[in-house]
Amino acid sequence: MKANNRKLIFEEDALRQFAIQFKLIRTSKGYTQESLSYKSNITLSQIARIETFKINPTLSTIFVLCKALEVAPEEVFKNIELKK
C-alpha cells in the first residue's frame, strides 16, 4: 500500500469527550486558554483546536498540557467511553 493511500484516524466522539474533559480541568484549575498557552508553551490556537475537537493532539502534547495543569494524564481520559 502506498503511503498516500493511508486513511487518517479521527475518532470524533472520543475526541469530543476528551475535549470536554480537558476544558473542564483547565477551567477548574483557573486557567484561561491564553494562560495555559503561556505556561505550557503550546500555542493558543492549538489549545483552542483541541477544545473544539478540530485536531487529534499527540500524546506528547497531552503530557505537556497535563504537566502544566498539574494533573495526571489519566485525569484527561477519565469517563471517555469508546463506542464499539
The shares of helix, strand and coil residues in the chain, as percent rounded to the nearest 5, are 60, 0, 40
28-84 tens-digit pLDDT: 999 999 999 999 999 999 999 999 999 999 999 999 999 999 999 999 999 899 887
For the chain, domain boundaries = 11-77
The whole-angstrom distance between residue 29's C-alpha and the CA centroid of its chain comes to: 16
CB 70 within 8 A of CB 29: yes
CB 16 within 8 A of CB 67: no
> Hey, which CATH number is domain 11-77, 1.10.10.60, 3.40.190.10, 1.10.260.40, 2.60.40.10?
1.10.260.40
Q: What is the pLDDT of residue 79?
A: 87
The Cα 3–Cα 36 span in angstroms is 36
CB 64 within 8 A of CB 40: yes
